[in-house]
Amino acid sequence: MRHLKLSVLTLVAASLAAPVFADGHAAALEAATKARKANMSTIGYHTGILGAMAKGDTPYDAAVATAAAENLSAAASMNRIVLWIEGSEQGAVPGSRAKTEIWSDAAGFEEDAVALETAAAAMVAAAGTDLDSLRAAMGAVGAACGDCHKAYRGPSN
């Protein structure tokens, strides 16, 4: 299991010579929140391409499907330590919808994240094969999104 705690001091020391700790701390938490939301948007973008093909909304294209699956897999495999920093939960950082359970139940969160990594890796193998294979791999990808959002994503801000 990967540890989700990161010394914010390390980040601050690396990025800013912040004389006021409190400001640097808040900035580091906001930066991490923005970065992980961008990571999720990237995941959502590529899932959308695959989902549209699975539904028949866009024509199946093996090269495009493979590209989307590879990017989805890469985004899903990013190291979570620097993205999900304790203290950046909903209410603490503007725009965050991260539930505190991400840290209090770190093993469960990691399990859901690995479920997406696994499903995305399977999609890389399936997406370029044919439309039926893509469709068959889509279920596990969608389930991974839904399971994690249900448990660890808070309501709209």
Cβ at position 151, least distance to ligand HEC in Å: 8
Q: Is 47 in the site for ligand HEC (CB under 6 A)?
A: yes
The structure tokens listed for 66 are 């493979």
From 96, 103, 123, 134, residue interacting with ligand HEC (rule: CB under 6 A) = 96
Of the candidate spans 20-28, 39-47, 62-70, 130-138, the one that interacts with ligand HEC by CB under 6 A turns out to be 39-47
Residue with structure tokens 């279920």? 139
From 113, 123, 124, 134, residue interacting with ligand HEC (rule: CB under 6 A) = 113
Q: Is 135 in the site for ligand HEC (CB under 6 A)?
A: no
CA 155 to CA 98: how far, in whole Å?
Answer: 9
Q: Is 103 in the site for ligand HEC (CB under 6 A)?
A: no
Q: Buried b vs exposed e over 54-75: b needs ≥16 C-beta within 10 Å?
A: beeeeebeeebbbebbbbbbeb
CA 75 to CA 122: how far, in whole Å?
Answer: 14
Residue with structure tokens 């985004």? 75
Q: Are 34 and 98 in contact (CB under 8 A)?
A: no
From 31, 37, 87, 140, residue interacting with ligand HEC (rule: CB under 6 A) = 37
Give the footprint of ligand HEC on this chain (CB under 6 A).
33, 36-37, 40-41, 43-44, 47, 96-98, 109, 112-113, 116, 141, 144-145, 148-149, 152-153
